[in-house]
Structure 1
Amino acid sequence: MKPHHLFEATQVGSNKIRNRIVMAPMTRSRSAQPGNIPTAMMAEYYQQRASAGLIITEATQISPQGQGYSWTPGIHSPEQVAGWRLVTDAVHQAGGKIFSQLWHVGRMSHESFHADGKPVGPSALSPDAQVWVVGDDGVGRMVDCPVPRELTRDDIQHVIADYRKAALNAIEAGFDGVEVHGGNGYLIDQFLRRTSNKRTDEYGGSLANRVRFAQEVLEAIGDAIGADKTGIRLAPFITQRGMDDPQAIEAILALAAWCEQKGITFIHLAEADWDDAPQVPYEFRETLRATFSGTIIVAGNYTKEKAEKLLAAGVVDLVAFGRPFVANPDFPRRLAENLPLAPISNPAALFGGKEAGYTDYPAWSASEV
């Protein structure tokens, strides 16, 4: 296993990046309404953080059906593609690289987003979870997810086509590649796990059947834009939202082996980031590294020291940071120079709002000392 260093340049598929620091995807709910359209304010936000080796955008729905939270951006309409072009141009002007995170929430949704009042999933099972929805009064609240409608075989093919089109739209919008969101209890994760997938057709039951949907999505995207521009995010040890399946690790490793064969450029692990969360066994990291020779990204409340340790061991290649990028747009510099990190001073502005708590966090200056 080759040791790495957090601040060295490297290659991710067809993209050369300036360091091994990734800005993790973070929902901020700032898209313009109606239409869930990315804005110039979003372009400024991402440009401010372009010193990351790689930015992965907030989760972006591939279709109206794929939406589960208010004010999240899409990448399925011409207006959305044009809005994202503002973002990618701004990031590239600052010398950065940026991937679009493609998202279908499946059953993690609310009836208000669907004409028939029904989210969809692999099976008609409630996630026993909540999503953030803005009401008619303009206030966002956490609301319960209803029981979804089970996807038919034809529905599944339409969703795969939506992923493919969204990937093509991402390239048209100027993105350097895409990450398929396959974790955190969203649609692809729902297919992978027996707790949410009770199907008896070719998309459920056996391990091979439960990974089929993810494979067909990735294959469609890879054929459209290139496997070297295609990655996937997975969440092996996250159990909330009805995802507690003891066979989840087996399914994820089977999918990783398939990704190795197909040349998928990276696997991004969303690791639990709360204080008493289960730790990722080191044996899993070694097994994944032995299974998948592409780029492995990890995200989950990492410190500089913990990141460097895993990089030095060669079991990961990039480390993603989320919350520190909110209040520290120059986060890579602060890490490199051991500068103090600013706290999130406006937690109420994490979801929704304008510039406050979004683009008004300054870069470090000597006057802060």
Structure 2
Amino acid sequence: MIIFDRRIVSHFDFIQPLLILPIIILSHFLISEANQTLALKQYIYFGVGFLVFLFFFLIPIRKMLWLVPFAYWIGIILLLSVDIFGISKLGAKRWLEIPFTHFTIQPSEIMKPIFLLMLGYLIAKNPPSQDGYSLKEFIKLSFFILLPFVLILKEPDLGTALVMMMTGYAVLFVIGVNKKIWISIALTLCVSSPVIYENLHDYQKKRIIDFISKEPSYQVKQSIIAIGNGGISGKSKDEATQSHFKFLPIATSDFIFAYNSERFGFAGNLFVMILYLCLIMHLFSLSITLKKDYITRVMAIGIGVLIFVYSHVNIAMNIGLSPVVGIPLPFFSYGGSSFITFMCFFGILQNLLTFKFRDEYKTKG
């Protein structure tokens, strides 16, 4: 059986779990201190995430690439159905309820891995020339990037929509697009930025105003106090007053970076940031070595960009250098949707890396 083939071990990328597991373990330790109930729920997310990883790691993805366009359009239908059948929470309609159950799904999370697979599928079918994609090819690829962006933005979920759009265009930037196109886009964005701002929702404008105002918001103030309180090496649980006395808002998810800083200080945060940096650099290095394997390159680049954007925005938000948005730290912030989505990402990537030899040897034969 192929599952016992020794080449699986030699092709499996062990660097990924070596960098991710310390982040997960530290996250669980912090959440256990803050809230035992959430810590117990985390075990459920760990179990589901591991099963999701195994599922995508073991299925023959390369043989099933022809299904990717169908999956993409199913994802688009789910995003469209949110507007009709969606459930509203905190003023945003982003969830669909599974019939006859009390469980809900978030189509925008389901769309993320499908979105990258679709980009990889399209690029593999039509690789760029030496000068990069022309305007016609760029517009075609942009359609598949902007369609989910518009639908997710309408929910409204500006954060997720922007992250997906940035990831899509970052992938195209690395894969190759004519330089004149990027210059034109940059000039267009500069000219149209006032119009874009005027069309934002009121709460989105408020976040920007809070960010550029002299006084940071209450959440950011408490976060900065917690970071300062941690010092170089951090405080004990009882001395971490911001977290212990619940002054720090959403300490287990949006502001877990500040919570980690209060407990383990600058050293603890430096440790986490180094892990993220090494993971991002490793993923980008994979894209360099993969050369013409476009589907795997797109997944590696896309996941690397996602982790970079998520970690950059979340950390900047914690220290007052970015507006407060609901973007989690991958594998670190509490939450099932984000954790399971990234386990899906890494399951797909490990599958494409580990079982690549099967396709190579079959082609040679």
Instruction: Give the number of the structure whose residues are more often helix, by fraction.
Output: 2
Structure number with higher relative contact order (C-alpha < 8 Å, ≥ 6 residues apart): 2
Larger radius of gyration: 2
Is TM (by shorter chain) over 0.5?
A: no
Which of the pair is proportionally richer in strand?
A: 1
Query: Under a length normalisation based on structure 1, what TM-score does the superposition of the two structures give?
Result: 0.30
